[in-house]
Amino acid sequence: MAIFKGSGVAIVTPMKENGAVDYESFANLIEFQIANGTDAIIVCGTTGESSTLSHEEHLEVVKFCIDQVAGRIPVIAGTGSNCTETAVYLSQEAEKYGADGLLLVSPYYNKATQNGLYAHYKTIAESVKLPIILYNVPSRTGCNILPETVVRLCRDVENIVGVKEASDNIAQIAHLAAIGRGVVDIYSGNDNQIVPIMALGGLGVISVLANVAPRQTHEICQKFLDGDVEGSRKMQLDAMDLCKTLFCEVNPIPVKKALNLMGMKAGSLRMPLSEMEEPNVERLKKSMTEYGLL
């Protein structure tokens, strides 16, 4: 059975001005998501600035999220690393805390071969019992998990159940859907491709957009799952400009700014990420206003 269907938010990690994690604001963001129908929370992913959290902070944020959610919806912990040993450690700790699943980004910088990816993921999966979603985002990692490798892993390793596909390559995702039917749970990793990927059999999205528009992102998915493809398509198209604007600078710079504009206290960014440039802030305000968020 799938870990979740619908909209999973790749939640931001709010920071205080001194750079410390702002747990009070984090609790408020989690409650905002649950109150607005989000189907799962993905903590310490790219949007959560996991790359600049220490291992101790990373695990503290994961545990806090699990405790705050308290079983109301699934919590999927981002525990991937370009070091297999580190990913095993983070995954085992998240399992102890009660995570419902794990999201494992492909090893970045090392640029492993497909055989290396297979061995990496198999080693991590065999160290835990939790269901695992692979995360394919070549634009960030420099490494593409090919469809054949995804299917091989899902067939050979019981608790590897699916993939977050952010390759932006619809042809590749269609090929994966064709060869992985009944074996691979596919989630869109791009908010501008929720409906196209669900049309190929995808189960939903792991979303940046859901940080600021949780109800709408949930409804895009739920309408499709309920058979209202036209309604889902309309909502997807209505969100396209905002989806684009949320990536006019590298994620999570725009989405944190958007939350701050909404009064949600996402706080600052950790270096090397920098504050959003003023022309892009104005562009973001315009897009958010047109979408009804401001």
Give the pLDDT confidence of 248-287 residue by residue, as tens digits: 999 999 999 999 999 999 999 999 999 999 999 999 999 9
As a whole-number percent, the residues of the chain with pLDDT over 70 amount to 100
DSSP line for 211-276:
GT-HHHHHHHHHHHHTT-HHHHHHHHHHTHHHHHHTTSSSTTHHHHHHHHHTT---B---TTS-PP
Q: What is the pLDDT of residues 43-80, one digit of tens each?
A: 999 999 999 999 999 999 999 999 999 999 999 999 99
CA distance to 191, 217, 230, per residue, from 236 (Å): 8, 8, 10
Residue 201 placed within a domain: yes
Under the banding of pLDDT at 50, 70 and 90, the label for residue 195 is: very high
Closest CA to 106 of 177, 30, 45: 45
pLDDT at 237: 98
Q: How far apart are the first and last CA of the chain?
A: 38
3-state secondary structure of 206: strand
Give pLDDT tens digits for 100-117: 999 999 999 998 999 999
User: Is 135 a catalytic site residue?
Assistant: yes
> Given this model, what pLDDT does residue 210 score?
98
Check residue 286 and give its pLDDT.
Answer: 98
| Per-residue confidence (pLDDT) for residue 177, from 0 to 100 | 98
What is the pLDDT at residue 163? 98
The single residue of 164, 223, 256, 257 carrying the catalytic annotation is 164
Phi-psi region of 34 (alpha: psi -120 to 50; beta: other; left: phi over 0): alpha
CATH of the domain at 40: 3.20.20.70
pLDDT above 90 coverage of the chain, percent? 99
- The reported pLDDT for the residue numbered 1 is 75
In a domain, 149, yes or no: yes
Is 294 part of any domain?
no
Sign of CA dihedral 184, 92, 46, 268: positive
- Domain-embedded: residue 238: no
The pLDDT value recorded for residue 84 is 97
- Domain membership of residue 171 (yes or no) is yes
- Burial class from Cβ neighbours inside 10 Å (0-12, 13-18, 19+) for residue 26 reads buried
What is the Cβ-side half-sphere exposure of residue 41, based on CA atoms within 13 angstroms? 33
d(CA 226, CA 232): 10
* Whole-number Cα distances in Å, 14 to 81, 98, 240, 248, 279: 22, 22, 25, 20, 23
For helices 147-156 and 170-179, angle between their N-to-C axes, nearest 10 degrees: 30
Residue 145: pLDDT over 90 = yes
175 pLDDT above the threshold of 80: yes
Do the domain assignments include residue 170? Answer: yes
Average pLDDT value over all residues in the chain? 97
Query: Residue 210 in contact with residue 7, Cβ under 8 Å?
Result: yes
The tokens describing 183, both together, are 């074996």
Catalytic residue among 5, 118, 121, 135: 135
Q: How do 204-207 and 160-165 pair as beta strands?
A: unpaired
Range of the domain at 134: 6-215
How many domains does the chain fold into? 1
Find the Cα–Cα–Cα–Cα dihedral 272, 275, 276, 282, rounded to 10°: 180
- Is the bond into 272 cis (omega within 30 degrees of 0)? yes
The reported pLDDT for the residue numbered 235 is: 98
Write out the two tokens for 32: 């905002």
Residue 74 belongs to a domain: yes
Q: Is 161 helix (H, G, I), strand (E, B) or coil?
A: strand
Q: How do residues 149-173 score in pLDDT, each as one tens digit?
A: 999 999 999 999 999 999 999 999 9
